[in-house]
Amino acid sequence: MLGDQEDLSLNPGPVDPLSGAEGSGQGKQNEEPLSPLSALIASLNERFGTNLTEHDLILDTIHRRLEADDNVREIAANNDRANFEASLAKPLMAAVLETQDVQGDFVDKLYSSTDMQKAVVRAVAKLIWDNVNNDDVA
């Protein structure tokens, strides 16, 4: 029933307060996309229990050292990514040894885990191959 036949009066007594909207009222905020290095570090941290940050630049150092190597760049330019990745393990591990003094703990973990080695080789191969081959297209 509607209108004058329905009692719409408030009941006497204590009333529970209503809460307002929570948050700042700005809606969902988008997160900044991760750089390739940040994404690699996040993946390694999650997968292998490391606590690397952007400040642990061993991966960036290895990546830059390998990408500056003319032989590595030539292999990347003349192979598909799978073949390039297969050929990168030896030069990558040599570059790791060169940086061992800087990041000894990470290097120890990298050498003790073949799964971690494979993940790093795959990620660094992708970064270098994409950069080398995208430079050639542009």
pLDDT attached to residue 82: 94
Q: Are 37 and 63 in contact (CB under 8 A)?
A: yes
**Cα–chain-centroid distance for residue 88?**
21
Q: Which of 49, 69, 86 is nearest to 131 (CA)?
A: 69
Q: At a CB cut-off of 8 Å and minimum separation 6, what does 132 contact?
A: 67, 73, 76, 77
pLDDT attached to residue 85: 94
Low-confidence ranges of the chain (pLDDT < 50): 138
Q: At a CB cut-off of 8 Å and minimum separation 6, what does 106 contact?
A: 50, 52, 56, 58
pLDDT attached to residue 138: 46
pTM greater than 0.75? no
List C-alpha distances in Å: 34 to 30, 56, 110: 12, 16, 23
